[in-house]
Chain A
Amino acid sequence: MKIEVNGENKDVTATTVAEALDALGWGEARVATALNGTFVPKGARGTTALSDGDKLEVLTAMQGG
């Protein structure tokens, strides 16, 4: 299925947010996630299903003012 990850189109076989993170190499990374603008807590990634066209945001610490 096709989803958008951090603004880029990706073709994934993953069915959940957790599987998508694994497939993208972020399985062990310290990140925060949101799906279609809604926060997905770490504990809910394994049960949050993906659908075609979903927009996944994977964020990390960055400099800020």
Chain B
Amino acid sequence: MRDFYGVTLDNPLMLGTAQYPSPAVLEDAFRRSKASVATVSLRREGGEGQAFRDLIDRLGVHVLPNTAGCYSAREAITTAQMAREYFETDWIKLEVIGHGDTLQPDPFALVEATEALCADGFKVFPYCTDDQIIAERLIDAGCKVLMPWGAPIGSGIGLANPYALRTMRAAFPDVAMVVDAGLGLPSHAAEAMELGYDAILLNTAVAQADDPAAMAEGFALAARAGQLAANAGPMPVRDMAAPSTPVIGKAWL
């Protein structure tokens, strides 16, 4: 089983902590889904940081700080350094955004920041596109985890390019891989896990649902179902029918 820098996750659901109607609903979503990882950020001190930090501590999950909103390697590196001290973890969800409309990662700045952070002892979870060559560069830089996008952040589209995700999975059989962003429905989570991904990471689809806790549980169940299917060895797909009931022994009527 592939692990995340030596950590095995009980549950393949990684859940964001933003955009919930209230802290209580956030907490309920984590409890009901049993998500194993919470993504968090660092923002300017406005007086609410400690309460949020206490809430995260209560969840008892792995904390994965992000560098959301960074548009340059320098910004992302500084944010990662601050996050490591604040959250006392060397895990970092590295986001270096290239364009505001799509929030697509800037692959060049991402590789640059990854090289610097891996050399500095960080365990980098890079939010990347589904480009295999970029993935190779990230692995060369020291990444043991890859997090290709399913679709643009907050879009709810699902897996925009299943072919690319499938070939990427096959290209790096030893690397833990997470489909991060763009998922809208539990079926998208199942599809990602059926492709052999090790986890899924999402936020908006749960936080913006009418009932976030129920949606979180739905995603957790779907992710688990997809994981079971991937491990169980799916049947080959064929174009023509193949009878499942034995033909031999059928009566001549």
Contact = CB atoms under 8 A, between A and B. Distances in A.
A pairs with B: yes
Interface of A: 6-7, 26, 29-34, 37-39, 41-42, 57-65
A58 B44 contact: yes
User: Which 3 residue pairs spanning A and B have beta carbons closest together?
Assistant: A60-B49, A64-B41, A65-B16
16 contacts: A29-B45, A30-B49, A37-B74, A37-B75, A42-B85, A59-B43, A60-B48, A61-B42, A61-B52, A62-B52, A63-B40, A64-B16, A64-B18, A64-B68, A65-B18, A65-B153
B43 A32 contact: no
B56 interface: yes
Given A60-B49, A61-B53, A64-B17, 8 more contacts: A26-B45, A32-B83, A41-B85, A59-B42, A60-B45, A60-B46, A62-B42, A63-B17
Interface in B66-101: 66, 68, 74-75, 78, 81-83, 85-87
Given A6-B45, A26-B45, A39-B78, A63 B52 contact: yes
Contacts of A41: 81, 85
Interface residues of B, number: 37
Contacts of B41: 61-65
Given A62-B42, A63-B18, A64-B40, A33 B82 contact: yes
A31 B46 CA distance: 11
Of the candidates A6, A33, A61, A63, the one having the most CB atoms from chain B within 10 angstroms of its own CB is: A61
A34 B42 CA distance: 12
Interface in B3-53: 16-20, 26, 39-46, 48-50, 52-53
Contacts of B203: 65
B204 interface: yes
A58 to B, nearest CB: 5
